[in-house]
Amino acid sequence: MENDFETIKTTYSKYISLLRKFFPESADAIAALEEEMGERLFLTPRDLLPQAGGVPGGLVSFAVSVAKYCKIFQSMVDAKKLVRVSLIHELGKLGGALEGQALYVPEESDWHREKLGRHYKYNENCPKMSIAHRTLFYAARFGFKLDEEEWIALSTSAGFQYDENKFYANEVLPLAQSLHTARTFALAEIKK
């Protein structure tokens, strides 16, 4: 995964453009997200390790990649809804809303960087909340308009194996399942 400044800038611009295209009714939400979290969103990694998106700009790069895989499902689900949830499904990885509460902070330990390849660590100052729940918090906070199906896809985005999502595990949820599959393809692409 590339992480030079120009690549990050280009990917971020594409991400914001996609948000505007797929959330036209949420222009104020996008503006509020950019105003409050723009720099953090621009630089946030999506994981601790580089091979899983643990690089500056990894979060938006992954969201754009997941959105790209949504084309596969356009004949099976509402493609617009799928792109919408793919673009915002990991906003919770931004961490807490206040300054100093980013979920990931640079790893300071040379040993962890060299031996484990971990470039980031979890921020002890970030309030504890699941990624899906914090994503829904941000969607509500900024005013993204979601329907019930989109809300369920976002709330179960981490997987049906988690206790809070088992209620939905035996349901037929094409949008949520498509998001999971698109994520799988995007993760495989990162790890190449």
Domain holding 100, by residue range, is: 5-190
Q: How many domains would you assign to the chain?
A: 1
The pLDDT score that the predictor gives to residue 3 is: 63
Q: Is the pLDDT of residue 79 over 60?
A: yes
Residue 122 forms beta bridges with which residues? 104
Report the alpha-carbon distance of residue 178 to residue 72 in Å, rounded.
9
E strand or H helix at 58, and its extent? helix 58-69
As a whole number, mean pLDDT of residues 13-32 equals 97
According to DSSP, residue 53 is labeled T
| Both tokens assigned to 15 | 């991400």
Quickly tell me which residue has 């906070």 as its tokens: 141
The pTM of the full predicted model, rounded to 2 decimals, is 0.93
As a whole number, mean pLDDT of residues 164-183 equals 92
Neighbouring residues of 155: CB distance < 8 A, sequence distance ≥ 6: 132, 133, 136, 164, 165
pLDDT tens digits, 147-167: 999 999 999 999 888 888 999
